[in-house]
Amino acid sequence: MHLSRGNHETLNMNRIYGFEGEVKAKYNQTVFDLFTECFHCLPLAHVLGGMVYVTHGGLFSSDTVVLDDIRKVDRFREPPDEGIMSEALWSDPQPMPGRAPSKRGVGLSFGPDVTANFLKRNGLKLVVRSHEVKDEGYEVEASGQLITIFSAPNYCDQMGNKGALLRFDHNGEYQVKQFTAVPHPAVRPMAYAGGMQSMFGF
């Protein structure tokens, strides 16, 4: 199994969305510090079979980015506000060509032409990313060159979406596996979240 770092594997997001609170409630600060250290080690992307680029968020503000540029990023830290690391964790596709500011306030929105250019420059055939809830658990975009996959069904116990995963063969072809939510312990969504105070460290 290959794990990639996402935008939630950061201190700020762990405070806001409750992971830090849950770990400290069930364990202690030391365990949370170990999680943080592990998150710093996670790669920003993978390439499957020399064909499929897998990342959490998306692509970049420059068409010149190649795989070696991503490999050179110092990922053993909290992400900066801009640059390759931040864009890999936060960017989203858009249906229009070109690039636009992100609705999230970090990263960017990138069009199908950006996807096509990235794949051509790097000799790849497909971008797989997550970072957005999809009703069916996945969505194919950019003329089939990009797939968003979201594996958490009924996100935050309120979205009603399916979850999905992709299973690839050795030729880079894939099958979609969808699933629905199952009952889980009665813990309210965001039960361990620290609220807005956590954003400011108090």
d(CA 158, CA 67): 37
Name residue 23's amino acid.
V
197 CB burial (10 A radius; 0-12, 13-18, 19+):
exposed
Per the structure block, which two tokens stand in for 103?
Answer: 């609705």
- Given 8, 46, 131, 184, the catalytic residue: 8
d(CA 119, CA 128): 11
Name residue 198's amino acid.
S
CB 37 within 8 A of CB 23: no
d(CA 10, CA 7): 6
66 CB burial (10 A radius; 0-12, 13-18, 19+):
exposed
Tokens 């979609």, residue? 176
Known catalytic residue: 8? yes
Query: Which residues are tagged catalytic?
Result: 8
